[in-house]
Structure 1
Amino acid sequence: MKKEPKLRMHHIELCVSDPNPVAELLHNQLGLRFVGYRESAQCLQLIFKMEKATFVVTTRKSLHCQPSDNNNYPDIVFESGLLKKPNKLEVTRDLSEAWTLFCCDSGFSSQERRAQHVDSVFNVAIEVVNIADCVNSIRDISQDLVLQEVTRCYDSDSELGYVDYAVIKSCCGNVVHTLVQKSEYRGWFLPGFYRVNQDELRASGNLSANSGIITMSHFDHFTFACRVGESNEIMDWYERAFGMKRFITNRQDSELEGLVIGDDVGLRLKVMQFWKCSESGLISTSSPTDDDAYDTLYRNWESEPLKIVIAESLPNLTNTQIEGFIKDHGGPGIQHVGLHTSNMLETVEVMTKNGVKFRHPPPTYYTEFTLSLFWHYIFVRTQIGQLEVIKSVGENVKVLREYGILLDNEADVFDSLENTSEERYLMQIFTYPVFNRDTFFLEVIQRKGARGFGVGNVTALARSVNAFNQAKLLEMQKMELSKANNKDES
């Protein structure tokens, strides 16, 4: 009997022209640990990790970095002093290019490449159980999608075993997937990557002081921004390639049309998810049989299913955020990644103190029906705020407003399947763009029983922004009228 494929996110890779700002954000502000790196003739790769969330930051040397000496850290110093070339650490330089991938076109000269390069999150690496079956599924779609055939990669220490990997091209923009099978590997990450000594970093003062307070356990999801009408093609591709299935998020989510948010938003969302019982959309809780090593080895994967959100504008109603991403990014791609936390309030508080810039909704978001603006004599009837929702679940409105945290108790299809009186909700917050263009950003999310994606937040936030802008416009008009009247009187 053929086994179902099993997948989970291994790491997410960013391709950047300058690793310093991204390293500063991930390490000093978001609290991820700098755990290792790899240097080859073509690139420098830095690894940042918190629990099961791992980012690989890749820089082409011709864009920014220069080759370093064999016995030192890479010749790069972050603004935070993250790498200070400690003398006691010996570095084995890996000159192979087994893991070298770039989002930028290698056909340009160095000078042209600097002009053409757009920083991008382009590689979602996926750990699989049977890589041969996965690649064959991709090959059935098109041989051209297989960028790197299955290759066996050994570590310098042969006792650590080996990793089989392949690289495939997704159907969405510049996105690729590195597939890794690690069942025969006992190393810390992947062959060829050097592990940084945390004691050395701690002694030199280069460990983030607040990282222990911030909690982020894993990648909750990643989101594609695509052109109008492309979502069905992407869904079909991921179903054929990985056996992923459509995931219905709530009662308003249509199997055919997806979750359509009209009004002032102009957005269509469709969600795909892989888990063991993907046909029914239910997580299997059955115990593996003793003779089924396949299930025994990977039974814990079900708690962190691979989830993809696909976002596109509506045909006759443009979503400015989606279209803005496509324009600045140079095409469709990964718009944002969701990081799951078990303690939203404390995590966001520390991140804010560390300098992370989060988007804040206007005051109207935290109101019920009316809002008194700063000028006191203008009242706007919004009917779009989340005040009652926040109060109903017992969260502190003042604290959420202070940090800009969004909350949604959106009901989902599982409510009818489970007898529970517990309130289901989630909290979300979004950073400003990570790069120098209005493209990729990060989301921090905490799920309190909810499995959806805060669609009520999308609508409430858009409407509250519009209401706030309308109120400001009315105030400006009133001020202009007052000035005109004063001028006439004089």
Structure 2
Amino acid sequence: MEIDHIHFYVEDAARQRDWLIEKMGFQSISHQINHQTHTEMVTNNHVNFIISSPLSFSSPVARYLKSHPPGVADIAFRIENLSSFLEKAKCTNQQILQPTIIAQLTNGQVKSAKIRGWGSLNHTLIDQSSSRIFSYSKMIPKTNIVGIDHVVLNVPKNQFYLAVNWYKTLFGLQTNQSFKIETKRSGLSSEALIDASKKIQFNINQPSSNNSQIQEFLEKNNGSGIQHIGLQTTNILQTVAQMRQHGLQFLPIPLTYYQKLKQSAKKLKVEIFSQLEWEKIQTEQILVCWPQYEPQLILMQIFTKPIFDQPTFFFEFIERRNQAKGFGEGNFQALFEAIETEQIKRKYHIDHDQENFKQQGIVKI
């Protein structure tokens, strides 16, 4: 089992395509326009995105955007035996949105179906024997991105265990790690799921307080949804520097984080970074984590700021040195705090604007 592609529903597919090309080094594959929907296909070294926007009120994208901000509408999985999977889905009363169809492409056939996922998320299912929808033969990668590392689904507190069990039962995912992250202000719980082949890492978050950033996401998104996609890179320092030059914005990390990080590194018996690397890590504001007894297994991560108008969806870049596995709790905590800081800034600006309106005698609808 593996992720074939991820489908975004947005206001303007061409504009989002251009943004991904300019900011993140994606390359255009093809496009399709009918009377309802405009669709673009882009790729970045095995990271495949489909982007759709509505051309009429009858478009499924228009219906989605009526209830949700732009974001991920479908995560497509390649599975070993589509027919067998659909039989299992029927036996467990899953909602099958599209029965099996066979599409003829220039490079072969694609056998697929679609089921309702959690909340408004759908899952296109592609039989593993099918031809690839995305072709890379003529593509020369422009970045160090090598694939999708993980995706993260946010769900309400009362749905957390239901959602976790749903993905375990239907897709055979298993718990790899569990987290509880807290600050003085808020918190979250997270279950990191993984499939048997270890090609898919699917994390599920729930808020542990009413003012949690996860709760803010759920309110802005009008329900459950994909919070972020983690993209794996072979050189995060180079990737982030390149994307900053192209205008991609990342969450800022305080200087105190790096002071503490260097103090922790001094306690190790081995040197994990050169002086130049330390400087670049701090300059690019990368988060770093390693196991106490295996410091060579280094996780390096960074989050972008939300890419749409609403503070919902964002990207993560992650480098796993020496095949580091899982997710570092130290990085998770620091990333949570960085997002919380941005959340507090947003709330300050909203409250500040409302106060100005009151002073001017303006009622904002």
TM-score range, shorter chain: 0.7 to 0.9
Matching of residue 181 in structure 1 with residue 132 in structure 2: no
Residue matched to 2:154: 225
C-alpha separation between the residues in 1 aligned to 2:42 and 2:281?
Answer: 28
Instruction: Find the counterpart in structure 1 of residue 27 from structure 2.
Output: 33
Partner Cα distance (1:198, 1:424) in 2: 34
Pair 1:268 & 2:189 matched: yes
What one-letter code is carried by the residue in structure 1 that aligns with 2:279?
K
Per-residue deviation at 1:425? 1.6
Equivalences for residues 31-430 of structure 1 within 5 A: 31-62=25-56, 102=60, 104-105=62-63, 116=67, 118-143=69-94, 145-155=95-105, 157=106, 160-170=107-117, 172-181=118-127, 183-185=129-131, 189=133, 212-248=141-177, 258-264=178-184, 265-276=186-197, 305-314=199-208, 317-318=209-210, 320-368=212-260, 386-389=261-264, 393-394=272-273, 396-410=277-291, 423-430=296-303
Q: Mark the CA change 1:354 to 1:41 in structure 2 (over 3 Å): closer, same or farther.
A: same
Letter in 1 for 2:194: Q
State the alpha-carbon separation in 2 of the partners of residues 136 and 453 from structure 1. Answer: 34
Q: Is the partner of 2:189 in helix, strand or coil?
A: strand
CA shift digits 1:319-362 (9 cap, x unpaired): 62211111111111100000000011111111110111111112
8 A Cα contact 2:9 2:71, kept in partner: yes
Gaps of at least 5 residues in structure 1 are 1-6, 64-99, 107-112, 200-210, 249-257, 277-301, 369-385, 416-420, 468-490
Alignment-mate amino acid for residue 63 of structure 2: D
Distance, in Å, in 2 between the alignment partners of 1:31 and 1:153 is 29
Alpha-carbon offset, residue 23 of structure 1? 1.9
CA apart distance, 1:41: 2.9
* Native 8 Å contact 2:301 2:318 kept in 1: yes
Pair 1:261–1:126, CA change in 2 (3 A): same
SS at match of 2:63: coil
C-alpha distance after superposition, 1:72-96 (max 9, x if no partner): xxxxxxxxxxxxxxxxxxxxxxxxx
Assess if the C-alpha contact under 8 Å between 1:53 and 1:218 holds in 2.
yes
Amino acid at match of 1:442: F
Contact 1:365 1:464 in 2 (8 A): no
- Count of paired positions: 336
Change (3 A) 1:163 1:460: closer
> Which consecutive unaligned segments of at least 5 residues does structure 2 have?
342-365
After superposition, what is the alpha-carbon deviation per residue over 1:109-165, rounded to whole angstroms, capped at 9, x for unaligned? xxxx7x65521211000111210111122212214x11111112223x5xx432111
What displacement does 1:218 show?
0.7
Letter in 2 for 1:121: V
The alignment's TM-score, normalised by the length of structure 1, stands at 0.63
Rounded to whole Å, the distance in 2 between the matches of 1:105 and 1:398 is: 48
Across the aligned residues of Structure 1 and Structure 2, the Cα RMSD in angstroms comes to: 3.1
Report the CA distance shift for 1:215/1:45 in structure 2 as closer, same or farther (over 3 A).
Answer: same
CA distance in 2, matches of 1:320, 1:122: 23
Q: Could you tell me which amino acid in structure 2 is paired with residue 259 of structure 1? A: F
Give 1:443's aligned amino acid. Answer: E
Instruction: Give CA-to-partner distance per residue, 1:447-488, whole Å, 9 cap, x none.
Output: 113212232123245568999xxxxxxxxxxxxxxxxxxxxx
Please give the alpha-carbon distance, in whole angstroms, between the structure 2 residues aligned to 1:136 and 1:365.
51
**Over alpha carbons, which structure has the higher Rg?**
1
Q: Is the 8 A contact 2:54 2:61 kept in 1?
A: no
User: Conserved in 2, the CA contact under 8 Å of 1:410 and 1:452?
Assistant: no
Query: Distance in 2 between the 1:17 and 1:260 partners?
Result: 35
Equivalent pair of 2:154/2:205 in contact (CA under 8 Å): yes
What is the aligned partner in structure 2 of residue 8 from structure 1?
2
